[in-house]
Amino acid sequence: MADIEKARAEFDRFDADKDGLITADEFKRAMAEMGDPFVTGPVAEAVIKSKDSNSDGRLSFDEFWQALQS
């Protein structure tokens, strides 16, 4: 997904509280809403951790965008 506007819209789907960061809980909830009920808490935490370049436990849009580029 190279289109930054589409990426921003997708990021906003995950960022439930609109604070500009995606937590593991938000990731898990969004995946369930999109039809993947198998993303558990530990799986969501692992996904966030793998893309979290500043190790704060959350994904910023910049980290999300970077993950889409790789």
- What pLDDT band is residue 1 in, cutting at 50, 70 and 90? very low
Locate 58 and state its tokens.
């959350």
- The answer on pLDDT for 51 being more than 70 is yes
d(CA 48, CA 9): 18
Q: Which CATH architecture has domain 4-69?
A: Orthogonal Bundle (1.10)
Locate 23 and state its tokens.
């937590």
Q: Sketch the domain layout of the chain as residue ranges.
A: 4-69
pLDDT tens profile 26-42 = 999 999 999 999 999 99
Per-residue CA distances from 19 to 11, 14, 24, 40, 59 (Å)? 11, 11, 14, 22, 11
**Predicted local confidence at residue 8, as pLDDT:** 97
